[in-house]
Amino acid sequence: MNIRAIWQLSGLLCIGAGLVANTASAQEQRTARDRAEVHYLRYEYRKAAVFFEEAAKRKFFKTEQLRMLADCYRQLDEYDKAVDSYRKITESKDALPADFLHYADALKSTGDYATAKEVYGRYREKGGAEAAARIAGCDSAIAWMAAAPPVITNLRHLNTSAADWGATWNGNGQFVFTSDSLRSSMLDPKQKASLQQYRRTGNAFQKLYLADTVHRNPDAIVVRGFDNVLNDFRYHVGPVAFSPGGDTAYITVTSPGKPVAQKVGRHERYRTRRLELFVSVRGRNGWQAPAPFAYNNAQYSIGHAAVSADGKILYFTADMPGGQGKTDIWFCEQKADGTWSAPRNCGAAINTPEEEAFLTVNEAGWLYFSSKGHPGMGGFDLFVAEGAGQHWNHPINLKSGYNSPGDDFHLKSGPTGTEIFASNRKGGMGGDDLYGLVPEIAAKPSIETGKKIFILETTVFKQGSEQPAAGATVLLTDENRNDYWTLHTQDDGKAYMVLTDGHRYVVSASGPGNGWSATKTFTAGKEDTVKIGLQLQAGVPRPGAIMHLVSIYFDRDGYRLRPESLSALDSLADMMERFPGLEVELGAHTDSRHTHAYNITLSERRATAAANYLVSKGIDRARLKTVGYGESRLTNKCADGVECTEEEHQQNRRMEARILKR
């Protein structure tokens, strides 16, 4: 996922409608193209790519549409696809200079430095001033990769198939990070209304999460929403920076203001929402309601804050007027009355004509940040600089290991020398993953102090055996709040959840087959860790539970129901007839092969096909909701770039029925 794209405000390529043709085939193609352009102009790159790919199979697909498709791939960090599209564009007679820059950038992000240098040279011939620094970056990358890099470890116990980044520690030494993953089910119920889909990527909006170990066991990690007050924004929340004492939080959020539409041809293009800083102080009763930073402005973005070691300087990223480039690092100094001085630019030693962002400050006062303007190995590279305010030494590239051909960003130094940063490099588990330099320390987030924690350890067993059921869905209902959470078991069949003292809970499980578990009721607080075992069996589902219809099969790229799939839907239809009040959500999933955009559309069509069959069996369509999740909710390791067997991929190609009402 390209979280970095939220800084790209309204400067994306805008192209109007294409040709009007008289033939039926051209009319069909124009419809697909029009749908693609509407999504594109709304920054909905996932869906736009689907329809552009469909339109590209037909005639009359012009360079202007291919350019928009290539931009979709670029915004979604699908570098290999971007390389192929920009190569075709640069071979056309109507190629623009910017096409060569984007082509070379995509090549560089795949690690093809030799070809990237050649294309940067062609861009320089067309007047591209940015080429020199990028060519220098390619030369440096080749030299740095020849040396032995430091040992960097993917923190797999924290990463998901979505985006996980923004690592930091709060004043209690707790590990806090930002994610747009399925962990949204672990947020406080008060935030659930805000968990809409971020249409740019198809994922949830990012929120802040806290990772705790259970009894200091690094293999038993509990992840939950960090704080319901700090997460209480409708759109993106994160990253967060804490003051040295941990009593003040500086949170980056997406502005709730309405985006401005402008007419482009026959369609409307929307400007994206701005970023803002909010400040919260921790009092006796917890975090106070965040207040807007004094220098937020509707005309530009401010975010990605970092606080100096003495707490007297606040650094942040902004695209405000008067900077060196697209986004710069700025700072404010704290005055005697506690307010902040007017922002000042950190200067040309740090900032370039390109983008600088994702900054942190360590205990020695060193500034870590990411840049696209200083010579580097990929898109965003990690740098460190010594200095303060407007006076800095020349930034040092952290080289191979820390950096890669992809985007590497937000490096944070933590307790006992730990360094954790984020990267979308190849071989990860998702879009952006957390990586650590000291894995034996980074793998042990600090357990919460000053407050007693109650843990639910649920172990799910397969039907008729004592073998653990990996990938089963655990449903936990808090009867005091009349709300529920769902999470999935790991390879050992276990799932962990934090409980509220004195609350009464009901826990059950389903899948990964068609089985259901008996429900068990308990009250939190009688013991530190409540251990419950659940045996899958046949049963009647509860609202919120998920029935895994794993016997529904499709051809790899098809969405028509195969004959062997009908028995599972027949069983669901029978259940819905026996329970006339039953309402279900049909959720279809794919494996990770093909693009995210392709898989979203494919899964939507599969869910619709299942709903149509149930309607043909006499089920009222009003009782059915269809959702296509694509590859966003993989149940195993088989993400992009991970080698898996066909059987492992099949585990992700599944259909689920979530009970909405009984």
Q: What is the predicted pLDDT for the residue at 194? A: 46
Query: Does residue 131 sit in the same domain as residue 249?
Result: no
Query: Does residue 489 sit in the same domain as residue 529?
Result: yes
Question: What CATH number does the domain containing 33 carry?
Answer: 1.25.40.10
d(CA 185, CA 191): 10
d(CA 460, CA 613): 32
What is the arithmetic mean of pLDDT over 388-407? 92
Query: Does residue 325 sit in the same domain as residue 425?
Result: yes
Share of the chain above pLDDT 90, in %: 30
Structural domain ending residue among the three candidates 539, 560, 591: 539
Q: What is the predicted pLDDT for the residue at 319? A: 92
225 Cβ contact list (under 8 Å, min separation 6): 186, 187, 188, 191, 207, 208, 209, 210, 231
Asked whether residue 263 is domain-assigned, the answer is no
Question: What CATH number does the domain containing 632 carry?
Answer: 3.30.1330.60
Q: What is the predicted pLDDT for the residue at 469? A: 86
Question: What CATH number does the domain containing 462 carry?
Answer: 2.60.40.10
Asked whether residue 544 is domain-assigned, the answer is no
Q: How many domains does the chain have?
A: 4
Q: What is the predicted pLDDT for the residue at 335? A: 93
Confidence of residue 3 (pLDDT cuts 50, 70, 90): very low
188 vs 352, higher pLDDT: 352
Q: What is the predicted pLDDT for the residue at 517? A: 65
Residue 174 has pLDDT above 60, yes or no: yes
AA letter at 318? A
Query: Does residue 283 sit in the same domain as residue 411?
Result: yes
Confidence of residue 18 (pLDDT cuts 50, 70, 90): very low
Query: Does residue 109 sit in the same domain as residue 135?
Result: yes
Asked whether residue 447 is domain-assigned, the answer is no
285 Cβ contact list (under 8 Å, min separation 6): none
Residue 506 has pLDDT above 50, yes or no: yes
HSE-CB at 601 with a 13 A cutoff on CA atoms is: 17
Question: What CATH number does the domain containing 437 carry?
Answer: 2.120.10
622 vs 26, higher pLDDT: 622
Confidence of residue 159 (pLDDT cuts 50, 70, 90): confident
Query: Does residue 471 sit in the same domain as residue 563?
Result: no
Instruction: Please write the tens of the pLDDT for every residue from 355-375.
Output: 999 999 998 899 999 999 999
d(CA 117, CA 579): 65
d(CA 538, CA 488): 19
Joined together, the tokens standing for residue 478 give 């808090």
Structural domain ending residue among the three candidates 475, 508, 539: 539
Asked whether residue 603 is domain-assigned, the answer is yes
What is the arithmetic mean of pLDDT over 366-395? 93
What is the arithmetic mean of pLDDT over 183-203? 53
Query: Does residue 375 sit in the same domain as residue 435?
Result: yes
SS3 26: helix
How far CA 170 is from CA of 135, 354, 447, in Å, comes to: 40, 31, 12
d(CA 43, CA 39): 6
Query: Does residue 172 sit in the same domain as residue 238?
Result: yes
DSSP 56-119: HTSS---HHHHHHHHHHHHHTT-HHHHHHHHHHHHTSTT--HHHHHHHHHHHHHTT-HHHHHHH
Asked whether residue 621 is domain-assigned, the answer is yes
Instruction: Please write the tens of the pLDDT for every residue from 569-599.
Output: 877 887 787 677 778 888 888 888 887 778 8
Query: Does residue 533 sit in the same domain as residue 561?
Result: no
Q: What is the predicted pLDDT for the residue at 539? A: 54
Query: Does residue 161 sit in the same domain as residue 117?
Result: no
Q: What is the predicted pLDDT for the residue at 112? A: 93
Instruction: Please write the tens of the pLDDT for every residue from 48-100.
Output: 888 888 888 877 788 899 999 999 999 888 889 999 999 999 999 989 999 99
> Which one of 25-34, 231-240, 344-353, 429-438 scores highest in mean pLDDT?
344-353
Computed over every residue of the chain, the mean pLDDT equals 79
CA 45 to chain centre: 14
Residue 438 has pLDDT above 80, yes or no: no
Spatial strand order in the sheet of 396-397: 356-361, 367-371, 381-385, 396-397
- Which of 201-205, 334-338, 630-634 shows the lowest per-residue confidence on average (mean pLDDT)? 201-205
Query: Does residue 570 sit in the same domain as residue 649?
Result: yes
Instruction: Please write the tens of the pLDDT for every residue from 526-566.
Output: 777 888 888 887 555 666 666 666 556 666 667 777 666 67
Confidence of residue 10 (pLDDT cuts 50, 70, 90): very low
Q: What is the predicted pLDDT for the residue at 145? A: 87
Calculate Rg over the CA atoms of the chain: 25
Residue 218 has pLDDT above 80, yes or no: no
d(CA 99, CA 111): 19
Q: What is the predicted pLDDT for the residue at 13? A: 26
Q: Are strands 529-537 and 454-461 parallel, antiparallel or unpaired?
A: parallel
Residue 318 has pLDDT above 90, yes or no: yes
Instruction: Please write the tens of the pLDDT for every residue from 88-120.
Output: 999 999 899 999 999 999 999 999 999 999 999
Asked whether residue 503 is domain-assigned, the answer is yes
Q: What is the predicted pLDDT for the residue at 655? A: 81
Residue 17 has pLDDT above 70, yes or no: no
CA 141 to chain centre: 27
Q: What is the predicted pLDDT for the residue at 15? A: 28
Share of the chain above pLDDT 70, in %: 78
Query: Does residue 574 sit in the same domain as residue 518?
Result: no
Q: Which domain holds residue 207?
A: 153-258+271-442
486 vs 221, higher pLDDT: 221
- The helix/strand count (H/E) of the chain reads as 11, 39
Asked whether residue 266 is domain-assigned, the answer is no
Cis amide linkage into residue 563, ω under 30° from 0: no
Asked whether residue 63 is domain-assigned, the answer is yes
Structural domain ending residue among the three candidates 509, 539, 569: 539
